Structure 1
Amino acid sequence: MPKLALHGGDRAVTTQLPRPWPHLSRPARQRINALLDSASLSDYALGPEMAEFEEVVADYHNVPYVLGAASGTAALHMAFHAVGVEPGDEVIVPSYSFHATVAPLFLLSAVPVLCDVDPVTGNIDLTDAQRRITGRTKAIVVTHMWGHPVDLDGLATMAARYGLSVVEDGSHAHGARYRGKRVGAFSDAAIFSLGARKMVSGGTGGVLLTSNEEVYRRALLLGHCHERAQLVLPPADCTVGYGANYHLSPLTAAVCTEQYLDLDQRIEVKTSVLEGLNRRLEGIPGLRPPSTAPDVTRGGWYGYKALYDSAELDGLPLDRFVEALQAEGLTVDRPSNRPLHRLNMFTSRKLEPAYYQPGGERPLYREGELPGAESYYEACLSFPAPHLHETCDLLLDQYAEGILKVVKNSGALR
């Protein structure tokens, strides 16, 4: 049996990772150069870059109203405001999500109520969410974790029953589909991040989608000051909107327009790569590739998380397993995001911002209270999805070899 690299043996992975996403296409570079040459670096109205970007996104998602934003977080702030969240209102949020999904609620002095998630997909547990609905609940926000759409039919049924507004956070799920329809068109307002290593990325930015004209108007007035605000209210009534300058840069709009135009082709390539990784992981003791329901697609697969089962390796701790894999040359690690209910903001009121006046007591959380989120986080193993946008069969073969090598030598690691 080959000796583990951790114990002085040869590394299993010798192939370099492909270049990381994002990278600019030639058309995107040409657009950027043209903007730089014309010094068109800002847009307070609705210039050609922003107008084209919003039209392309609206066509892609088949929705009538789209607004660019400075970030996904800004788009969420606009969305929560636009669906009518006010001070003291409760909004249900899945505990396993990026903190930006909940942070704008503090700006609105609303009360975030965390609920549990499914320990297999990391998506919201609608049964637990329903248990947390009260007479003060105004809305529910869902995150399509790692590109896997939530149960949108079940969500719609629950929201209708209790009169709740729905906000979709699609930041992980560009191009994902639920029963054949792209996510982002199932809610009162949906947002997508355009930052970091999202499948559509301009470095930073966000976008809001809605089919409701009133939601669009309210979001615009909060996030788009000056000339853009005057498109929905006369200048005499509203000179600068509500003053939040959440405009999207024309540079970001130009880059993201190009990325939307070829998004489906890039999704096809990335899906092929990650499904190839799935096949290589199938049957390896201790690891489960991500599970995808039969009636959905993951679109851009923002992240690739396998689930670890220590019982299949006689109790080998995940951290020790990761250490051995990294020594073999695999770029894998534990997730950087912990469940929200483990963060200080949700275990203590000491970190509440001075401006936060919710008009009601905010719930705090203890370890063990949301077991699905904890179980999912504790089992997650992150693979380098930002690099897996291009065919790399040799690398994936070596990853599989490295994992099997560690599994077969697991007894020497305990």
Structure 2
Amino acid sequence: MSHLALHGGPKAVRLALPPRWPQLSPAARSRVDQLLDAGELSDYDYGCVLRELERTVADYHGVPYALASSSGTDALLSAYLAVGVGPGDEVLVPTYSFHATVAPLFLLSAVPVLCDADPVTGNIDLADAESRITERTRAVAVTHLWGHPVEMDALGAMAHRRGLKVIEDGSHAHGARYRGRLVGTFADAAAFSLGARKMVSGGMGGVMITADEEIFRAPQPLGHTHERAAHSWPAEDVAVGMGGNHRIGLVAAAICIEQYRDLDDRIAVKSAVLEGLSERLHDIPGLRPQFTAPYVTRGGWYGYKAQYVPDDLDGLPLDDFVRALQAEGLDVDRPSNRPLHWQRLFRTNKLEPPYYQPGRARPLYQPGELRGAERYYESCLSFPAPALHNPCDDLLDSYQEGILKVVSNIARLRRASS
């Protein structure tokens, strides 16, 4: 094949990426225009837009209650508070997740206990999590990483056996299913981000869902102020809530309503695109397509991470492989998320947030301690999933061509990296 672009040859990929998600449908644009025309941008009470969003989300998941909020982080904070997490309580959390899965625990003066990851899916290692349970452990929170559901049967059995509450972070996994059942419906409470490039996105927003009325009502005075919270609490106690303002804006809520209406259709299209990417990677030495268990679906499929196998390519370091692919025009990179136990916040007590008042000293971690998560991160090659929402066979064909071009020149690359 031709010389590598890294060494002066022509690029293999000359096509631009399709537009990235989110994209507003005509129905969503119409709803936004109506709100702008009416000057309705916020709601202190429980008006028709907010009510419709929460009913839409609850009905989609088949649960009785949904509580909208300003972000997925706020939804997680609401969930932790609602299941009774408080000062000094320990909560098992995955070390491989976005920091927002864990950070709300500091606001409750709780103790996050980082757990290892399955090196194939990146999801929490439940055996490692169970080994970290103490008499202070109150709950376990799991992230369905990149849309792949956690092993919920095993998680439910562990939680029942050890008396733990369960929180699902479904922000990567809108519409994903475990053995035919939607994620978010297994836990005491589940949180979904409705922001950024999530499969349902109003720019900023979040939602907590639950089948338990007490869990639904418990977080409302935390940040759902004025008349809204007064539907559940005495009015004199909630004029400004408990100091927070976690309400979602009406524009974001209206957009999200419309995105739930066609969610399953969009999931089908995106799944076909990314399954097409997997087919193109299937027989290429050095790469394994993103693994998906046969009894789950990835739903929103928030990210696509192939796994790199250096032994197939004469031990070429992943960073060198990435540089060669990028030079060919592929929009690929290492994942932006690194294991949380590598961050200084979890390695030293010197960076304690000033509002964090633990009931006991929290555990600290060192690199090398949670090796499953490290092996997963160190092997991941990230593809531009936010731009792969619509059919783009020509682009995927050119990506395959670029990867094969790099693989065919591996000896030259290996010599250059030595």
Counterpart-to-counterpart distance in 1, 2:278 and 2:113 = 35
Residue identity in the other structure for 2:63: V
Q: Could you tell me whether the CA contact under 8 Å between 1:224 and 1:243 is conserved in 2?
A: no
Counterpart-to-counterpart distance in 2, 1:372 and 1:278 = 23
Deviation at residue 383 of structure 1 after TM alignment: 0.3
Q: Could you tell me whether the CA contact under 8 Å between 1:12 and 1:398 is conserved in 2?
A: yes
Partner of 1:10: 10
Q: Could you tell me whether the CA contact under 8 Å between 1:278 and 1:290 is conserved in 2?
A: yes
Deviation at residue 353 of structure 1 after TM alignment: 0.9
Counterpart-to-counterpart distance in 2, 1:263 and 1:69 = 20
Partner of 1:150: 150
Counterpart-to-counterpart distance in 2, 1:314 and 1:44 = 62
* 1:147-172 deviation digits (Å, cap 9, x = unpaired): 00000010000001111000000000
SS in 2 for 1:300: coil
Partner of 1:72: 72
Partner of 1:216: 216
Partner of 1:188: 188
Q: Could you tell me whether the CA contact under 8 Å between 2:89 and 2:111 is conserved in 1?
A: yes
Partner of 1:43: 43
Counterpart-to-counterpart distance in 2, 1:321 and 1:332 = 10
**Does 1:133 pair with 2:133?**
yes
Partner of 1:307: 307
Deviates more, 1:352-361 or 1:109-118: 352-361
Partner of 2:167: 167
Counterpart-to-counterpart distance in 2, 1:132 and 1:115 = 8
Partner of 1:25: 25
CA RMSD of aligned residues (A): 0.8
Deviation at residue 237 of structure 1 after TM alignment: 4.6
Q: What TM-score results when the alignment is normalised by the length of structure 2?
A: 0.98
Counterpart-to-counterpart distance in 2, 1:410 and 1:221 = 60
Counterpart-to-counterpart distance in 2, 1:254 and 1:392 = 29
Deviates more, 1:154-163 or 1:227-236: 227-236
Counterpart-to-counterpart distance in 1, 2:413 and 2:298 = 35
Partner of 2:321: 321
**Share of identical aligned residues, percent?**
66
Partner of 1:400: 400
Counterpart-to-counterpart distance in 2, 1:390 and 1:237 = 49
Partner of 1:57: 57
Residue identity in the other structure for 2:347: T
Residue identity in the other structure for 1:5: A
Counterpart-to-counterpart distance in 2, 1:385 and 1:20 = 9
Deviation at residue 293 of structure 1 after TM alignment: 0.8
Residue identity in the other structure for 1:174: H
Deviation at residue 44 of structure 1 after TM alignment: 1.5
SS in 1 for 2:394: helix
SS in 1 for 2:363: coil
Deviation at residue 236 of structure 1 after TM alignment: 3.8
Deviation at residue 14 of structure 1 after TM alignment: 1.3
Partner of 1:366: 366
Deviates more, 1:109-118 or 1:349-358: 349-358
Q: Could you tell me whether the CA contact under 8 Å between 1:229 and 1:240 is conserved in 2?
A: no
Q: Which runs of 5+ in 1 are unaligned?
A: none
Residue identity in the other structure for 1:67: L
Counterpart-to-counterpart distance in 2, 1:371 and 1:189 = 29
Counterpart-to-counterpart distance in 2, 1:286 and 1:59 = 44
Q: How many residue pairs get matched? A: 414
Counterpart-to-counterpart distance in 1, 2:280 and 2:360 = 51
* 1:251-301 deviation digits (Å, cap 9, x = unpaired): 000000000000000000000000000000001111011111111100010
* 1:290-343 deviation digits (Å, cap 9, x = unpaired): 111111100010000001011110110000000000010100000111000000
Q: Could you tell me whether the CA contact under 8 Å between 2:64 and 2:210 is conserved in 1?
A: yes
SS in 1 for 2:68: strand
Deviation at residue 239 of structure 1 after TM alignment: 3.5
4+ long deviations beyond 6 Å:
none
Deviation at residue 65 of structure 1 after TM alignment: 0.5
Residue identity in the other structure for 2:77: H
Residue identity in the other structure for 2:380: C
SS in 2 for 1:350: helix
Q: Which runs of 5+ in 2 are unaligned?
A: none
Partner of 1:255: 255
* 1:324-365 deviation digits (Å, cap 9, x = unpaired): 000101000001110000001001111111121111010000
Counterpart-to-counterpart distance in 2, 1:41 and 1:20 = 26
* 1:156-206 deviation digits (Å, cap 9, x = unpaired): 000011110000000000000011111011101100001110000111110
SS in 1 for 2:351: coil
* 1:383-411 deviation digits (Å, cap 9, x = unpaired): 00010001000000010010011011011
Q: Could you tell me whether the CA contact under 8 Å between 1:140 and 1:166 is conserved in 2?
A: yes
